Amino acid sequence: MQNSKIDLNELAHLTELFHLFSSGRHLNRSADAALWHELELQAEQYQYLFANLGFDLRIDGRGFAWFHDEEGNQNINKQSRQLALLLMVLFDHQADSGRSLGQFYQWTIDNPLLDDIYEKHQGLLDTEELDRDALVKILDNAVRKGFAVQENNHWRLLPSVYRYLDHFQAITEHASESDIAATAYEEGESC
C-alpha cells in the first residue's frame, strides 16, 4: 500500500469484519455479498490495517477471505480434523459418483447423502469415533465457521471449502508423484 494513512471512516464495516475473522470464521462472497463487496472495495486498506494489528488477512479470488494463522494450522483442533475428514469422504463419494469436485458449492448435502457416506466409510469414521449423528454436528460447526450454509433440510458448501479441496488435491498429486517414482525405482531394480 503506497499511503500508510488509513481513513477509518472509509472502512464502514471494520468492526463487523474484525469480529467475523477474529472468531475464526470465513467470509464468503456467496453468503454475504454486501460485506464481501465492502471488503473488495477496501481490500488493501483492510489488509494493511489488520497486518499492523498482527493479523494476516487472506483474500482468495474464488470468493472467500479469512485470518490466516500459521500456529493454528500447525495445531489443528479436533473440530477442524473432523471437518477435514468429513469433507475428504464427501469428496471421495462425489468423485466416485462422477461429480466435479470443483463444483462442490452446487451439491446438496442432505440426510440420504450423509447415510450413503457413512455406510461407505463407516470403518474410517468409526475409527475416529464419528457416528452418523456426528456428521450432522460437524456440518453445523461448518455453518458456524463459514464453510457451509444450511438451507431447509440440507447443507450447501461455501467457497471457503476450496482451502480443503486445494489441500486434498495437493496430497493426491504428491501421492501420485510418489507412486510414479516408486514404480520407476522398482522397474529400475528389475532391469
If you average pLDDT over residues 16-23, what whole number do you get?
A: 93
If you average pLDDT over residues 98-109, what whole number do you get?
A: 93
pLDDT of residue 96: 93
Over residues 66-90, the pLDDT tens digits come to 999 876 544 457 888 899 999 999 9
Domains 8-73 and 78-177 share a fold: yes
Could you please state the CATH topology (level 3) that the domain comprising 78-177 is classified under: Arc Repressor Mutant, subunit A (1.10.10)
Residue 152 burial class via C-beta count within 10 angstroms: exposed 0-12, middle 13-18, buried 19 and up: exposed
Mean pLDDT (the chain, rounded): 87
Helix locations, 27-161, DSSP H: 33-41, 43-52, 70-74, 78-96, 111-120, 122-127, 132-144
Tell me the pTM: 0.79
Q: At 5, is the pLDDT very low, low, confident or very high (cuts 50, 70, 90)?
A: confident
pLDDT exceeding 90 applies to what percent of the chain?
Answer: 70
Which position has the grid cell 489488520? 50
- Residue 78's CB: how many other CB atoms inside 10 A? 8
Domain ranges of the chain: 8-73, 78-177
Weakest-pLDDT range from 1-10, 23-32, 81-90, 128-137: 1-10
Q: Which CATH number does 8-73 carry?
A: 1.10.10
Distances in Å between the Cα of 166 and the Cα atoms of 88, 98, 131 are 11, 19, 26
- pLDDT above 60 (res 187): no
Over residues 127-169, the pLDDT tens digits come to 889 999 999 999 999 999 999 999 999 999 999 999 999 988 8
If you average pLDDT over residues 26-44, what whole number do you get?
A: 94
pLDDT of residue 8: 80
Measured at the CA of 123, the angle between CA 117 and CA 124, to 5 degrees, comes to 75
Over residues 168-181, the pLDDT tens digits come to 888 887 776 655 65
If you average pLDDT over residues 56-64, what whole number do you get?
A: 95
